[in-house]
Structure 1
Amino acid sequence: MSYPDVREIALDVFRQNFVTLAGDAFKVAQQRAERITEEFLEALRRAHPQHLSIAADPAFQRSLFKAQEEYACSGDEEIAKVLVGLLVDRAKESARSLRQLALAEALVTVPKITSRHISTLSLIFLLRHLKVSGFTSFEAAIFELREKIQSVLEALEDSASDEEDLRYLQYAGCIQMGRSTMLSVAFWDEVPCLISQGVTRDCILDEWMPAFVPHPHHPDRFAVPITDIADLPSHLNRVGIDGAHQEAIASLATSNTLSENDLFDFLSEGSKTSRRLFNLFDGELMSAASLTAVGLAIGHVKLAMIDASLPGLEEWLRS
């Protein structure tokens, strides 16, 4: 199917389904619908041209029309960017799956929330589901972790934290409330090795030493130079240490982690915005909030707009 054919199908979806409005309103709505359609198709052609034929799929046309209809009526540019990102993600999902369902529901949900709510979902995503990879060294990972978080947080400065906002996000099906989780605990779940302050030499058996390097911030201590504890088996294999020692070394690699205040100080160094948002995240309600599949899809798409290196949604929603 050629690009002009796909474009015509996508525009026909709007023309044949949108209600007629009076006066100039219909003309404005049609121009907006054409604009968001063009932006979506161009984004899809750049990122995943093999999926352009999805425009002929009935289920996808329904999702596309929801996005067209919303932007045609609201004209909200920030919401439009998120809708385009969700459409591109949805276009990759031809099989019925949790991701496809979550993305379809996200396209219906986004028009019901504000850009501040979307930033809030991205904030929760960042601080609860952070993944760090692709760094050239352990030391680089520690510093780039801070730089990445600070740059992203600057873009999420408008995050909402009022009880009314969080309760509304819960009502909208984007978050669910559970037990409060401190930021340091959330980070321990995702990047425990990076927030460890290392261990002293007397804690390490001689045969384990090849797995350790001097800690970048504490010369008298040692750390295992990995960003994800899941990488430990391959690391031990590289340095010639038997896997039977994995559990004990993992325990050392993830011990002596930064306290809540020390973690705040390190990650927010030189950034008032980061400090404010960390404090916001540790609030009673925010620290108890976790993302549903729909909230995950929405939070991810805005983060991907800020950080192009962010892995695809399939990294978190695997089915």
Structure 2
Amino acid sequence: MKDQNQNSGDNSTNIQAGTVNIHGISAIEARQIALDVYNSNFMSLAGIAKDIARSRAEEITEEFINKLQQQNPIGLEQAKDPDFQHALFGVQKEYARCGDREIGELLIDILIDRSKHPTRDILQIVLNESLTVAPKLTTDQLAALSIIFLFRYTINNGINSLSTYYKYLDLHIKPFASSISNRQVSYQHLEYSGCGAISISSLELPQLIRNQYGGLFSKGLDETQFASKQFTIPRHSPIFSRCINNENNIQVNTINEEAIKTEADNHNIPESEIPKLIAMHNESMMNHEEIRDLTINGAPYMSNVFEIWSNSAMKNITLTSVGIAIGHANVKKDIGELTDLSIWIN
């Protein structure tokens, strides 16, 4: 579990367990309720096993209450809700059984997200199910969910250069790159557990990268090729720039097709020119092998990701709401912050 020590500035206040009272229930009361839930429901074990299980349940409860106070203190009120108690007991029970710190941290993050949804809606239902499914997954399956989620379901709008692209991969993909597996049974189990569906159709990783961050992989057009497009837009328009990979050439100054439409609107470019801009963007793009090589050049660990994606069901699987929720939580556990899950599940 992560260290709970806090540092504060001159004008800030640290919140530790037992110091706040939100809507009539304190952290101390919430912790006691949580432990009562465990003691009242967990199976009777004998001897050392009983002591180990209780110790683990207390550990995960303490970690949860501390983190809940930091991230969503109003969620302490959820300790009185029967459905939330049921979800909490599931976390205690699973951690008491296995003692796996990685799973424990993941379950805490999912449970904190669950505390933000006191009313019965689709997110609450998905998060409840995620708490049940996540302990059934192995490290390589969690890593696969994280990478599939990031490449298939997200785009980072802060990426505007190869350097920011590589930094993004270092932060988000590298932690999982060495853990993924090409074993078919790994992805069959993800399907069986309700995290995804394996289809006949496939989507190669270079194509996904091209769709999302294609502007980084432009070869551009030389002056003659550019002139042949017969744009009514001036050459000096901000919609054009020197090619990121060849300063002698010209490229569309955006990251992907959606960005072209947005920038065209921002610069009052005639709608009739947008298809020509998109065509230029796509025609000047590197091929899949070149995209792969340039990515690996700045992020060598991506060699394993490309290899396994191409030779496993990673390219065939689409995630369910539960798979997205677990992948989201697993990424958030490692990087600390991530856009709210409701962006993908609503």
Q: TM-score, normalising length from structure 2?
A: 0.82
Does the 8 Å CA contact 1:214/1:223 hold for their aligned counterparts? yes
Number of the residue aligned with 1:291: 319
Deviation string 1:31-57 (CA, Å, 9 cap, x unpaired) is 111111121222222222233322222
Number of the residue aligned with 1:116: 140
User: Is 2:189 aligned against 1:159?
Assistant: no
| Deviation larger for 186-195 or 120-129 | 186-195
Identify which of structures 1 and 2 has the higher relative contact order when contacts are C-alpha pairs closer than 8 Å and 6+ apart: 1
The whole-number CA distance in structure 1 between the counterparts of 2:339 and 2:230 is 35
The offset of 1:220, in angstroms, is: 3.0
Assess, with a 3 A threshold, how the Cα gap between structure 1 residues 43 and 250 changes in structure 2: closer, same or farther: farther
Does the 8 Å CA contact 1:132/1:227 hold for their aligned counterparts? no
The whole-number CA distance in structure 1 between the counterparts of 2:163 and 2:215 is 13
Does the 8 Å CA contact 1:193/1:229 hold for their aligned counterparts? no
Superposition RMSD in Å: 2.3
Deviation string 1:208-228 (CA, Å, 9 cap, x unpaired) is 642222222222333344445
Q: Percent identity?
A: 28
Number of the residue aligned with 1:185: 207
Assess, with a 3 A threshold, how the Cα gap between structure 1 residues 30 and 192 changes in structure 2: closer, same or farther: same
Number of the residue aligned with 1:75: 99
Number of the residue aligned with 1:171: 192
Assess, with a 3 A threshold, how the Cα gap between structure 1 residues 86 and 197 changes in structure 2: closer, same or farther: farther
Report the structure number with the largest CA radius of gyration.
2
The one-letter code sitting in structure 2 at the alignment partner of 1:155 is P
The whole-number CA distance in structure 2 between the counterparts of 1:64 and 1:270 is 42
Number of the residue aligned with 1:311: 339
Does the 8 Å CA contact 1:146/1:266 hold for their aligned counterparts? no
Assess, with a 3 A threshold, how the Cα gap between structure 1 residues 2 and 252 changes in structure 2: closer, same or farther: farther
User: Is 2:54 aligned against 1:26?
Assistant: no
Question: Aligned runs of 1:1-319 on 2, under 5 Å?
Answer: 1-134=25-158, 138-139=160-161, 142-156=162-176, 157-178=178-199, 179-200=201-222, 201-202=226-227, 203=229, 205-207=231-233, 209=235, 210=237, 211-227=239-255, 229-243=257-271, 245-269=273-297, 271-317=299-345, 319=346
Q: TM-score, normalising length from structure 1?
A: 0.88
User: Gaps (5+ residues) in structure 2?
Assistant: 1-24
Deviation string 1:270-319 (CA, Å, 9 cap, x unpaired) is 544220121101115221122111111111111112333532222222x1
Does the 8 Å CA contact 2:169/2:299 hold for their aligned counterparts? no
The offset of 1:89, in angstroms, is: 1.6
User: Gaps (5+ residues) in structure 1?
Assistant: none
